[in-house]
Structure 1
Amino acid sequence: MPNWFAYAVLALWPLVAVRLYRSKSVTEATLWTILGGHMFLPVGTQVDLPMIPPLGKESIPALVAFFGCRFIAGRRISFIGQRGWVLWLLLLFILGPFVTAELNSDAVFVGGHRLPPMEHYDALSAVINQLIVIMPFFLGRQLFRTEEDHALLFRALIVAGLFYSLLMLLEVRMSPQLHGWLYGYFPHGAHSFGQEKRFGGFRPVVFMGHGLLVAFFAAVTVIAATVFWQLKIKVREFSSAKVTYYLLLVLLLCKSVASILYGYVAFLLIKVTSFKTQLRIAKILVLIALLYPNMSIMNIFPHQTLMNWTESMSAERAESLGFRFENEDMLLNHARQRLFFGWGGWGRNRVHNEETGRDMTVTDGKWIITLGTFGWLGFIAEFGLLALPVFRAASVFKWVKTQQEKILLSAHALLVGFVMIDQLPNASLAPWLWLLAGALLGRTDAILNTTKRTDSVQFA
């Protein structure tokens, strides 16, 4: 159970945001409100109010950032005033869960247990929840418009990584204790503490809820530091090269194979390949994420090859990967029964034992959670909104003039590509990652608008 301090921190976060919006630019305040919430707010501590989704680590930063922009900074954040693919994907993202709830008004009986039906109340609550989830995306799109905003985003990630690395190294040495010391409980259950044991030591958890989330955060900060190295910009008085090497070491100590691969591969791509190669690989990563459900249904994704390769490095990791694939297969077969709009909430998207009613599955990947809950159309909406900035970055790249902007744009697209790939084995999609994706779309919008204005002037 959370202690009083956990609830106090949640209650005080809006005051922290007010202070940020009154002392910093709206862009920087929004960034630290959302990123800081992910870094420090307690995991699983929530205030459950009628109709709206529970207020906690995921929702409070997004809401207070939105209200800070609107009522303190005076910036109007538009959702519906979009056009093209963004508008259609947004409508599908927000209204699709409403349809899902209305189509799942039947109770499900399995093994003597009853899974409740979705009601009109659940339909309205789902729409509100989707609006809160997508807020950081549109905050990023409308606030991060200039090259300076783009650089600010990467600088903030580096500073956050350097500060958080101290807490991470403490837990590597002492085991994951900070969340328990400060908030009174281990974030994902005392029985799960053993999950953080890796290679004779521990993975840091800090205040993010799981070692995998911390490792992915570390990978993102490595990408940001590598960008500054390419730009030859110092981080305070520190050389960006030294900062990058330090963060690469911290990432290694996180002991998460997937995130280590993301970080080290991205580092090499940014350092030694061309901008076009980085954009091409970013698009390939996005396409793999988009097509993965179809490839799994058609049995053409090389699951066995991937397991064999993993087994050559670690039998334990191969066993864990095989367990994930088995669960994916069960969940996918269940999802196909209500393929277009999904099963909705209340655990209806999971597979239960026909005799006992016991939940038999573990949902690791964000893609299978979304597909099972909101169906194929929900998956298209969510992953389509993430994919759109990458394709847009590739399309506007030919109009980018400066070397600095080329470095920022190609690396940012690569970063979002790795965000999408990580949603296949994990469910790491959090408000700060929605913000990063939205910021990429916002910058590409600005480049496109500038190009159109220039062309109009020349034509005139």
Structure 2
Amino acid sequence: MWTILGGHMFLPVRTMVDLPMIPPLGKESIPALAAFLGCRFIARRRVSFLGQRGGVFWLLLLFMLGPFVTAELNGDAIFIGGHRLPPMEHYDAVSTVINQLIIIMPFFLGRQLFRTEEDHILLFRVLILAGLFYSLLMLFEVRMSPQLHRWLYGYFPHSFVQQVRFDGFRPVVFMGHGLWVAFFTAVTVIAATVFWQLKIKVRKFSPANITYYLLLILLLCKSVASIIYGYGAFLLIKVASFKTQLRVARILVLIALLYPTMSIMNLFPHQALTEWIESMSAERAESLNFRFKNEHILLEHAQKRSFFGWGGWGRNRVHDEETGGDTTITDGKWIITFGVFGWMGFIAEFGLLALPVFRAASVFKWVKTQQEMTFLSAHALLIGMLMVDQLPNASLAPWLWLMAGVLLGRSEAIVEAYRTENSVAFINKTLMKQGV
């Protein structure tokens, strides 16, 4: 947990180690690969990817085979405005699959290594400790402007102007953008709220005080979406029933899964949502409208090769007919995946994220303790918010894949415990009938 999350918190952005025959290794892939190698060869824990046949098996198979079909269907070079976009080759497919498997390794680590209730508590405790420590760096940048990445690594990882909000700054630290820091903080708020509900202290600190503190830090991040996620989850966990939390989580997942279809069929209320945001902030509404316009242009282009996408090398983007320059900005993870890998890639990636939420909801009836119910429902809510956040943003990092994997692993462990208990009860009942 610390290896994967720590890499996201402290490694430099867009700095790569480019070795032959494998994709460039950087902030996203190095921690995931290090955690996997440590678990496999130091801790001697076997980590299986495919495992038994089921939803995960078929989605992962699609996840791995899809890029080869994409490469096969995009063997043509594209000439536009005097520029040439190269064709996809089998080498590109192999490189893409290796990179994707490295990025989602934490999903399978979480699924297989975090199985008990104590593991669930440990996960949330680490998130809270990480949030508390990182908040000190965040407070520094709120006051002094985002400078830590430049001071330590010698460059600023993104547009500095985008980090200026409401006559101040939002923190970036080492995550690359203020939006990702804000979402990380929202996740730590959820973890702290769960500990508050269960009255679990963190190193003698009151969980209520920690939650209030992290809620304040979230406000200082000045990201409207993450503030809605964090404060919305806080209220749901504190006030709503477990079933309501699971219902909201499933609704959020369904919105994320159905969003491409609703956008294609013009069923999603883009205009109404923009007008609602405009009533609160004209600047935020303008930003949202800009994203929707780019999304619409990219979606029209993606539909020309909708099943397996356009592949890489910028082929999924829209270029000027005269100059060949890129005219679009891809903000949302969903439109990036949809443009590059098409429907099959979208179903594989978002299906792997959605499956843990539906599995958690299906096993909830077998959960016995209130503590377990609190963790399971709040965790499902967290993954639901993560999926919705992939519509306007591309915040899907390895540590979030780990979070999804832990929820799936914990849900599967509950099923196994229930079946084992029923089998033992059946054997005992049979033996009693036989007078043994």
Q: What's the TM-score, normalizing by structure 2?
A: 0.97
Counterpart among 149, 155, 167 of residue 125 in structure 2: 155
CA deviations on 1:7-41 (whole Å, 9 max, x unpaired) are: xxxxxxxxxxxxxxxxxxxxxxxx00000000000
Q: Give the distance between the partners of 1:425 and 1:249, measured in 2 at CA.
A: 24
Q: CA deviation at 1:308?
A: 0.5
Q: Give the distance between the partners of 1:202 and 1:311, measured in 2 at CA.
A: 22
Q: CA deviation at 1:50?
A: 1.9
> Which AA in structure 2 matches 1:234?
K
Q: Within the alignment, does 1:342 sit opposite 2:274 as a pair? A: no
Q: Give the distance between the partners of 2:168 and 2:161, measured in 1 at CA.
A: 11
Equivalent in the alignment of 2:323: 356
Equivalent in the alignment of 1:40: 10
Q: CA deviation at 1:454?
A: 1.0
Q: Give the distance between the partners of 1:244 and 1:127, measured in 2 at CA.
A: 40
Equivalent in the alignment of 2:40: 70
CA deviations on 1:167-203 (whole Å, 9 max, x unpaired) are: 0000000000000000000012xxx110000001001
Equivalent in the alignment of 1:286: 253
Conserved 8 A contact 1:307-1:318: yes
Q: Within the alignment, does 1:417 sit opposite 2:384 as a pair? A: yes
Conserved 8 A contact 1:392-1:441: yes
Q: Within the alignment, does 1:103 sit opposite 2:70 as a pair? A: no
Q: Give the distance between the partners of 1:83 and 1:405, measured in 2 at CA.
A: 27
Q: Give the distance between the partners of 2:172 and 2:424, measured in 1 at CA.
A: 54
Counterpart among 119, 122, 137 of residue 107 in structure 2: 137
> Which AA in structure 1 matches 2:397?
A
Equivalent in the alignment of 2:430: none
Q: Secondary structure of the equivalent of 1:313?
A: coil
Q: CA deviation at 1:82?
A: 3.0
Equivalent in the alignment of 2:116: 146
- Unpaired runs of 5+ residues, structure 1, are 1-30
Q: Secondary structure of the equivalent of 1:114?
A: strand
CA deviations on 1:291-347 (whole Å, 9 max, x unpaired) are: 000000000000011000000011111100000000000000000000000000000
> How many percent identity over aligned positions?
81
Conserved 8 A contact 1:330-1:351: yes
Conserved 8 A contact 1:110-1:354: yes
Q: Give the distance between the partners of 2:24 and 2:242, measured in 1 at CA.
A: 42
Equivalent in the alignment of 2:57: 87
What root-mean-square deviation, in Å, do the aligned CA atoms of Structure 1 and Structure 2 show?
0.6
Q: CA deviation at 1:51?
A: 2.2
Conserved 8 A contact 2:50-2:56: no
Equivalent in the alignment of 2:354: 387
CA deviations on 1:270-294 (whole Å, 9 max, x unpaired) are: 0000000000000000000000000
Q: Give the distance between the partners of 1:447 and 1:314, measured in 2 at CA.
A: 45
> Which AA in structure 1 matches 2:15?
T
Equivalent in the alignment of 1:14: none
Q: CA deviation at 1:458?
A: 1.6
Summarize the alignment of residues 364-403 of structure 1 with structure 2, pairs less than 5 Å apart: 364-403=331-370
Q: Give the distance between the partners of 2:296 and 2:57, measured in 1 at CA.
A: 33
Equivalent in the alignment of 1:441: 408
Conserved 8 A contact 1:51-1:124: no
CA deviations on 1:333-382 (whole Å, 9 max, x unpaired) are: 00000000000000000000111111000000000000000100100000
> Which AA in structure 1 matches 2:44?
G
Conserved 8 A contact 1:98-1:126: no
Counterpart among 201, 204, 217 of residue 237 in structure 1: 204
Q: Give the distance between the partners of 1:195 and 1:213, measured in 2 at CA.
A: 13
> Which AA in structure 2 matches 1:174?
M
Counterpart among 275, 282, 285 of residue 308 in structure 1: 275
Equivalent in the alignment of 1:176: 146
> Which AA in structure 1 matches 2:161?
G
Conserved 8 A contact 1:136-1:434: yes
Q: Within the alignment, does 1:298 sit opposite 2:237 as a pair? A: no
Q: CA deviation at 1:119?
A: 1.1
Q: Within the alignment, does 1:246 sit opposite 2:216 as a pair? A: no
Aligned residue pairs, count: 427
Conserved 8 A contact 2:219-2:227: yes
Equivalent in the alignment of 1:24: none
- Unpaired runs of 5+ residues, structure 2, are 428-436
Q: Give the distance between the partners of 2:226 and 2:68, measured in 1 at CA.
A: 35
Equivalent in the alignment of 2:426: 459
Summarize the alignment of residues 116-135 of structure 1 with structure 2, pairs less than 5 Å apart: 116-135=86-105
Q: Give the distance between the partners of 2:337 and 2:56, measured in 1 at CA.
A: 19
> Which AA in structure 2 matches 1:56?
G
CA deviations on 1:218-264 (whole Å, 9 max, x unpaired) are: 00000000000001011111100000000000000000000000000
Conserved 8 A contact 2:180-2:395: yes
Q: CA deviation at 1:150?
A: 0.3
Equivalent in the alignment of 1:333: 300
Summarize the alignment of residues 8-27 of structure 1 with structure 2, pairs less than 5 Å apart: none
Q: Secondary structure of the equivalent of 2:324?
A: coil
Q: Give the distance between the partners of 1:310 and 1:376, measured in 2 at CA.
A: 30
Q: CA deviation at 1:160?
A: 0.2
Q: Within the alignment, does 1:203 sit opposite 2:173 as a pair? A: no
Equivalent in the alignment of 1:20: none
Counterpart among 286, 293, 297 of residue 319 in structure 1: 286
Equivalent in the alignment of 1:10: none
> Which AA in structure 2 matches 1:86?
V
Q: Within the alignment, does 1:58 sit opposite 2:25 as a pair? A: no
